[in-house]
Amino acid sequence: MKQSTIFTKTTKTAPREEESQNAILLTRSGFVHKEMAGVYTILPLGLRVFKKIEAIIRQEMNAIGGQELLMPSLHPKENWEKTGRWEGLDNLFRFTSFYTKQDYALGATHEEIVVPLAKNHIASYRDLPQYVYQIQNKFRDEKRAKSGILRGREFFMKDLYSFHKDEQDLDAYYEKAKDSYKKIFEKAGIGGSTYLTFASGGTFAKYSHEFQTLCEAGEDIIYLCEKCRVAVNEEIIKDQSSCPECGSKDLEKKKAVEVGNIFKLKTKYSEPFNLTYKDEAGENHLVQMGCYGIGLNRLMGTIVEVFHDDKGMIWPESVAPFKLHLLSLEGTSEEADKLYEELSQKGIEALYDDRENQSAGEKLADADLIGIPWRVVVSKKTLEQQSAEIKRRGEKETKLVKIADLSTSIHA
């Protein structure tokens, strides 16, 4: 993509009121735009990151048998009344049709849709297990949206729902989902600072598990056991004051942000909707369920919180909007154009700073801000040696490589 044609511009100054790094950097770089508190447009550059995150999640969800579907945002009141959450769930957006006076909810989660839906398709033990997921926008009437895209009122979530004939099958799948989540966060680059965290399970299971990523912008407090790489959420530290794996009492207190959550629902939602199946003997049983969520906006914001410096973002290669940022300095557009063509033909995703009226300093500063993993500079100096200068974002060293060898150097 040519930078001269891009829809957004970068800014030198950050919005005055923002404090969180993800809000400052994503806004300055033109990845997102805040429409109101907790509500963001994802701009073209940001959407490229978003799509990469989606792809990682899809791949892992499909690998554990997930079938993707897409449920609506607009929900009927009756479904929420059946689960007792029309009145109960504080941050559910509810509204009344101006014309028909009918009440609706904006989906904050999708048990109220997916369970009645499953009733149409699950009747026998032969129909189980089933796993469906979606990547879809959620609405939550948060009392206080905060920290850039970490806590919004509208955001995208991957939510997977599993249906099982018994608890044993649920337990087995739950462990698979846990492994799958670990892979997702590793692939997204934050595996090193993300901990499986024991958290409150509500009324229907002893614990749920969260995936908590260490960072100062986080709003949760966790106690972690570095040896086992697990943690305990502060909310249950009274019941569980030692490492659940090794029993160690030597836990480290840290701030973290919850990037994912897995939950054994058991029969909490199959009961109100009477989602049952017939076993071999023709007897009815309630379906056992699990749900598994990842907030995509929050994940993107967390990656920025974890990987940035005073100049800008430092994207892990797996989620970077582009692999390579090509900068043409000192009127070298002819040679840079040619290089950009070659890179494109080789299938290397490149952002090409072909802008003619921007100074070298501005281009370099923008490259740091946007944070693409590889920076390739073509200037008069480098062309004298038929070379380009390459540098990894986040590292100091630059090196000159022959233009002919460029693509191999970048893969190395």
Partner RNA sequence: CGGGGUGUCGUAUAGUGGCAGUACGCUUGCUUUGGGAGCAUGUAGCCCAGGUUCGAUUCCUGGCACCCCGACCA
Rounded to a whole number of angstroms, the minimum distance from the CB of residue 187 to RNA is: 24
Residue 243 or 265 with smaller CB distance to RNA: 265
Of 5, 7, 12, 411, the residue at the interface with RNA (CB under 7 A) is 12
Of 240, 276, 365, 394, the residue at the interface with RNA (CB under 7 A) is 365
Of 280, 283, 356, 397, the residue at the interface with RNA (CB under 7 A) is 356
Of 357, 395, 411, 412, the residue at the interface with RNA (CB under 7 A) is 357
Rounded to a whole number of angstroms, the minimum distance from the CB of residue 317 to RNA is: 19
Residue 308 or 363 with smaller CB distance to RNA: 363
**What x/- string results for residues 150 through 189 when contact with RNA is judged by CB under 7 A?**
-x--------------------------------------
Q: What distances in angstroms separate CA 411 from CA 196, 374, 396, one per listed residue?
A: 32, 10, 19
Of 49, 57, 108, 336, the residue at the interface with RNA (CB under 7 A) is 108
**What x/- string results for residues 263 through 282 when contact with RNA is judged by CB under 7 A?**
x-------------------
Rounded to a whole number of angstroms, the minimum distance from the CB of residue 383 to RNA is: 9
Query: Is residue 144 at the binding interface for RNA, with CB under 7 A as the rule?
Result: yes
Question: Which segment (64-72, 95-103, 278-286, 378-386) binds RNA by CB under 7 A?
Answer: 378-386
**What x/- string results for residues 317 through 346 when contact with RNA is judged by CB under 7 A?**
------------xxx---------------
Of 1, 362, 394, 409, the residue at the interface with RNA (CB under 7 A) is 362
Site for RNA, rule CB under 7 A: 9-20, 23, 28, 34, 36-38, 89-91, 108-109, 138, 140, 142-148, 151, 202, 219-220, 263, 311, 329-331, 356-369, 377-382, 389, 398
